Structure 1
Amino acid sequence: MENDLATEMRNKAGGNFRNGYNCAESIFDAFRELIEPDLDRNLVRLFTGYGGGLGHAGCMCGALTASAAILGMLKGRTSAEGDREPCYDLAREFHDRFEDQYSVTCCRALNPHPFDTKEHLRHCLKITGNTAKLLTEYLVEKKLIQQKA
């Protein structure tokens, strides 16, 4: 059952990417729809600058940074007095899983092809989809989302 939801989320994020969204936008919109479907879809614009490792700077992968935002949607604090450690712990642990899977977290190391070339886009599509799958499996494991019946 877990693989069904993980595959669905991989395909949803990949579909978003194929439709022209960048990696971060693709992750956000797929998980927004799953976790908080009433959340304004226009908030996807908050994730535009994360693509290409922060606007083609090649730094932290946008799919990974958007995943941390999804974890914040689920476990982030709502006041300065709130405890930030539960969310920090989840974000760090997911970061480490991502790094275990890909060996690196930096966009330019993950995908050495020139930005927006056919090869680059094909490779980013795989990273985006597989990050959505990894995040779904992580969220299910941590009991942050339920399996679909």
Structure 2
Amino acid sequence: MNEQLVLEARNKSGDYFRQGYNCAESIFLAFRDLVIPDVDPALVRMMTGFGGGLGHSGCMCGALTGAAVVLGALRGRVSADEDREVAYGLTSGFHDRFEAQFGSTCCRAINPYTFDTPEHLKNCLKVTGNTGKMLMEYIQSQGLVPDQE
């Protein structure tokens, strides 16, 4: 495991969040920088609605949906004729790790504070950074990025 890359993923995810990006945008941008550089950075706009558990509805955590997008970029399909089970398996595996770590996949359960309060933002920063760390560990364990120490 390349621990430097894991640390960089955590830090970049948190840094983007501190700059004002939401949790989903932050995961996308950090991993775009680190492992999917050929993806157009303007595609971050697709991530905006995932913040706040899908537009402040408090449902699926945006950091988790951002991670699912990254996994899709790495192993998703571009044709209906291709096998979708590879991406499904990777996403399901990460989902289970995320839920084990945070006790839920639901934004309002993970972060019970009122949206955009200092407490909420502090907690979301921790979740976003830790999700970046976990995702990098996961994609390395799955052989999706070179393990260069």
Structure 1 length normalisation: TM-score? 0.97
Which whole-Å deviations, capped at 9, do the CAs of 1:8-35 have from their partners, x for residues lacking one?
Answer: 1100010000000000000000101112
Which residue type is aligned with residue 30 of structure 1?
Answer: A
For 2:117 and 2:147, the matched residues in 1 are separated by 37
Structure 1 unaligned regions, length at least 5: none
Shift of 1:46: 0.4
Cα distance in 1 for partners of 2:70, 2:36 equals: 10
Instruction: In structure 2, give the amino acid aligned to 1:80.
Output: A
AA in 2 matched with 1:51: G
Kindly report which structure 2 residues correspond to 1:1-149, keeping only aligned pairs within 5 A, or say none. 2-149=2-149
Give the partner amino acid of 1:34: L
In structure 2, runs of 5+ residues without a counterpart are none
Question: Matched residue pairs, number?
Answer: 149
| Alpha-carbon distance in 2 for matches of 1:93, 1:16 | 25
Q: What is the CA deviation profile of residues 99-137 of structure 1, one whole-angstrom value per residue up to 9, with x for unaligned ones?
A: 011110000000000000000000000000000000000
2-structure distance, mates of 1:47, 1:65: 9
Distance 2:80 2:47 in 1: 23
Provide the C-alpha distance between the structure 1 equivalents of 2:8 and 2:14, rounded to a whole number of angstroms: 10
Q: Percent identity?
A: 60
Report the RMSD for the aligned CA atoms in angstroms. Answer: 1.0
What is the CA-CA distance between 1:47 and the residue it aligns to? 0.1
Post-superposition CA distance 1:44-69 (Å, at most 9, x none): 00000000000000000000001011
> What is the SS of the residue equivalent to 1:27?
helix
Letter in 2 for 1:113: Y
Task: Describe the SS at the equivalent of 1:146.
Answer: coil
Q: After TM superposition, give the deviation of residue 38 of structure 1 in Å.
A: 3.2
CA contact (8 A) 2:24 2:51 kept: yes
